Every structure is written in structure tokens, then in C-alpha cells.
Amino acid sequence: EFKKAMPGGEPKTIITDQDAAMAIAISIAFPTTFHRLCIWHITSKFSVKLP
């Protein structure tokens, strides 16, 4: 449904959190689109992942 809602073709870039399933789906549905990770989601995990 997301792909049908995109007027003018595939988006140039999609920004998401670090969801592995989303990364796979984007690479299949939009093979020419750049997938980038959201800096907010990355930095919000610093306090959990780093001692």
C-alpha cells in the first residue's frame, strides 16, 4: 500500500529505526532507494548499550 501511495515513483531515501524486517522489505520493494537509520533511534540506545 505504501508503494501505491507514492506519486512519481520510488522515494530517493527512507529513514527508519533499526528494524531488520523493515530493512529487508525496503530493499525488496524499493531496490533503488537508499535506506538510512534514524539518528534519534541510534542515540537513544546509547545509555542502554554503552556502559
pLDDT at 2 over 90: no
Q: pLDDT category, 23, cuts 50, 70, 90?
A: very high
Query: Could you tell me the residue range of the domain that residue 37 belongs to?
Result: 2-48
Residues 6+ apart with CB under 8 A from 13: 33, 34, 35, 36
**Residue range 34-38: average pLDDT?**
95
The mean pLDDT value of the chain amounts to 89
**50 vs 26: which has the higher pLDDT:** 26
Question: Cell for 22?
Answer: 523493515
pLDDT at 16 over 90: yes
**Residue range 8-34: average pLDDT?**
92
pTM: 0.72
Q: How many domains in the chain?
A: 1
